[in-house]
A and B are shown apart, each in its own frame.
Chain A
Amino acid sequence: MTEVFRAIGLGKSYPGVRANDDVSFAVSAGEIHALLGENGAGKSTLVKMIYGLVRPDDGQMQLSGAEYLPADPRAARAAGVAMVFQHFSLFDALTVAENIALGMENPPPRRELSRRIAQTSSDYGLPLNPNRRVATLSAGERQRVEILRCLLQSPRLLIMDEPTSVLTPQEAEILFATLRKLAGTGTAILYISHKLEEIRSHCDSATILRHGKVVNTVTPRDHSARALAAMMVGAEMRTVDRSNRQAGAPVLEVSHLSLDAPTAEGTRLQDISLELRAGEILGVGGVAGNGQEELLSALSGEALSPAGTVLLEGQDLSRKGPETRRQAGLLAAPEDRLGHAAVPEFSLTENTLLTGANRQGLVRRGLIDPGAARRFAEAVITAFDVRTPGPGTAAGALSGGNLQKFVIGREVLGKPRVLVVNQPTWGVDAGAAAAIRQSLLDLARGGAGVIVISQDLDELLELSDRFAALNDGRLSPPRATEGLTIEEIGLMLGGAHGMEVAHVEA
């Protein structure tokens, strides 16, 4: 096979972070080459260098044997490199044709362009109407726009940045069929992902990055997902340790909690009762939209419930808001990291104040104590291995997994009596997910009660002592997790809802 692209000793530093260090690998024509790594391993920086968005500090690149150093993405496109972005690259208010024209160097006149879009989209089985506004398209259709934009330029090297993270499994299958077809025509494809199964079944080779360095280049089919994950996260990969935990006295009691749906699309909570013991993890499973968010709000205090329905160690908190509940030791970490659990524009230090202000003593005489807030932020960063230049970094600048570690860490270090988390590892890579799960177990071992609301059944089975299913706003009686089978859980979830077993990434 002829080599299309080669990186030799690429390196790039940002203040406080060595994003890439001595990265070398090669991609051949017709090959689907995976770039595998945890969040923050340097995958994005690497492809940005190849696409001309970031200039490498050292090392060099070759395209078809010739020296290659694009000044900007247009130079990269002119050289035959195209890229499909994870996000940030479509214009909602513009039409499909306009979006595609923007990604081409010399777009043909409008009619000719529309004709070519129709032609190429039918060649590859990706139907699209060139005159639709992008705002009206689904996630899968949007990605089609990006792919078509690349295909129309007949690239030599196509870069795909986590393309399946927004797709349904069916859409992902279509995408891989398209990529196969494209590789068949001699295009080299660089495929970035942290989904191991996907890479094992579809990619010809894989370069694995860890902390900005190449760990190994392997044929993914020859290795188990577990082995790949181990390479990806290094020695830190461990199975969670569930030992040494004992259920103590009840800490949280919820009795006959019913709440109307907060919005028209919301779910009504109906007669929810549960008892959580100290040192216990209660798993709450269910298909999304069955009341998970509403349950979290009712427990965190964002939604108030009738008196006597939520009791923490005998103290009635039903009519108290979130801050009072936090003071009492009932903490929560909602699902949505950006905008609910953290303010994207705030620094990590400022974000600690959102829930830690009183509990951590970060406020003195009505004034913020910046030193204390920074120290607490640093403590969270250290304890949870949050990869960031420092506590002054804006929350929105962190990768999803790192921010999730920070958000969970902020609550865990708050020494809660009861912690409620919703989807703690959603969209988080394997290494970070394992760390978050371990921290929840450690918290329970320390005597706190933990409620984990999740759609990932394997996660719930791994973590929880008892399992309850949330179905249309009703909570099933909890059952001991030990001995519970996936089939039984399916029945608890109402069967007909057809929740699929979560796709575990490692």
Chain B
Amino acid sequence: MIDPLSVFLMLLGAATPILFASLGELVAERAGVLNLGVEGMMICGALAGFAAAHASGSPALGFLAAAVGGTAISLIFAGLSQYLLTNQVATGLALTLFGLGLTAMFGKPYEGTKAPSMPMGPLGLNWMIWLGLIAVPLVWWFLNRSRAGLVLRAVGENHDAAHALGYPVRRIRVLAIAFGGAMAGLGGAYISIATVLQWTEGMTAGAGWIALAIVVFSRWDPRGALAGAWLFGGVTVLQLRLQAAGVSVPVQLLSMAPYLATILVLVLISAQQKFGRSAGGAAPGSLGRPFHALR
């Protein structure tokens, strides 16, 4: 039968990659940057992390390499979107395609090899799960209580005003994009190092897109991102259990369930925003708009 506690513990694991990626994207979007390249940054992190962990035998070094790899590819996006003022949507999509293609090529030698095993932390949960859970209040505190977070939100809300007050809009956005890249990289590496334990082409399987959806779902609040990641993780685990239990529903439908749930929740949220009273929780005012200062 399905035991609630074990489902919850598994849910934490299934939610972790998306939690990392969505927290990173959330910070970038709060700074006014819409980076649709999350999937690409995740897959780069997944390969970089797996390769480093495989070579060194240390999962910790693997995650470090994943963060570096995710940051590196995110800086391509930063350079294009912030300095050359390219369209953010198109650039983000290109980044995803680029990441998928790049990793498919460089990942070939790693196919069929195995990752070193993850050391366990308290409660039988590995350290990355704990790190993800700790990141939620940290990001919340940073955004809502720290001076730097206030400046970051200001930049995302109205970049002209932030510039007029003398804040370095572009530099802040580049840093936010880099943070998003590092977090996406960690999330991707969690899939290759801690979940699947091997490298397969395109193994993030849309997790980056789910993370993007969860940022909207969360209304740009880290606590909401946690809830969204758990919802998605929960449905994922549940459908796996149902498959294992041999429920007479086609496997394809069950596999679809997490994505369907995400779409459903997004529809409900936008319906609520459209028809209900919606004071708070709106998207950052300058989200996705390029910034150019005349000096």
From the candidates A54, A77, A85, A107, name the one contacting B166 in the complex (CB within 8 A).
A77
* Given contacts A93-B284, A93-B285, A85 and B164 within 8 Å (CB-CB): yes
What's the minimum C-beta distance from A100 to chain B, rounded to whole angstroms? Answer: 11
From the candidates A73, A75, A90, name the one contacting B158 in the complex (CB within 8 A).
A90
Complex CA gap A133/B153 in Å reads 14
Q: Is A486 part of the binding interface, using a Cβ–Cβ cutoff of 8 Å?
A: no
* B150 touching A98, Cβ below 8 Å: yes
* Given contacts A93-B282, A102-B150, A102-B151, A72 and B166 within 8 Å (CB-CB): yes
Complex CA gap A102/B147 in Å reads 9
Q: Is A101 part of the binding interface, using a Cβ–Cβ cutoff of 8 Å?
A: yes
What's the minimum C-beta distance from A86 to chain B, rounded to whole angstroms? Answer: 10
* Given contacts A74-B166, A101-B150, A89 and B161 within 8 Å (CB-CB): yes
Q: Which of B153, B157, B279, B285 has the most CB of A within 10 A?
A: B157
* A54 touching B158, Cβ below 8 Å: no
* A91 touching B158, Cβ below 8 Å: yes
The residues in A between 28 and 48 inclusive whose CB is less than 8 angstroms from any CB of B are: none
Q: Which residues of A contact B157 (CB under 8 A)?
A: 91-94
Please, what's the 1-or-0 string for B150-185, where 1 marks a CB less than 8 Å from any CB in chain A?
110110011011111111000000000000000000
Q: Which residues of A contact B285 (CB under 8 A)?
A: 91-93
Q: Is A55 part of the binding interface, using a Cβ–Cβ cutoff of 8 Å?
A: yes
Q: Which residues of A contact B165 (CB under 8 A)?
A: 73-74, 89, 102-103
Q: Which residues of B contact A14 (CB under 8 A)?
A: 294
Q: Which residues of A contact B154 (CB under 8 A)?
A: 91, 94, 98, 102
The residues in A between 416 and 467 inclusive whose CB is less than 8 angstroms from any CB of B are: none
What's the minimum C-beta distance from A159 to chain B, rounded to whole angstroms? Answer: 12
The residues in A between 86 and 144 inclusive whose CB is less than 8 angstroms from any CB of B are: 88-94, 98, 101-103, 107, 133
Indicate the size class of the contact surface on chain B: 20 to 34
Q: Which residues of A contact B147 (CB under 8 A)?
A: 101, 107
Complex CA gap A103/B162 in Å reads 9
* B161 touching A55, Cβ below 8 Å: no
* A88 touching B282, Cβ below 8 Å: no
Q: Is A341 part of the binding interface, using a Cβ–Cβ cutoff of 8 Å?
A: no
Q: Is A53 part of the binding interface, using a Cβ–Cβ cutoff of 8 Å?
A: yes
* Given contacts A54-B295, A94-B157, A89 and B164 within 8 Å (CB-CB): yes
Q: Is A163 part of the binding interface, using a Cβ–Cβ cutoff of 8 Å?
A: no
* B161 touching A53, Cβ below 8 Å: no
Interface residues of B (CB under 8 A from A): 147, 150-151, 153-154, 157-158, 160-167, 279, 282, 284-285, 294-295
What 6 new A-B contacts, CB under 8 Å, besides A90-B158, A91-B154?
Answer: A73-B165, A74-B166, A92-B158, A93-B157, A94-B154, A103-B165
Ranked nearest first, the 5 interchain pairs of A and B with the lowest CB-CB distance are A73-B166, A74-B166, A91-B157, A88-B160, A72-B166
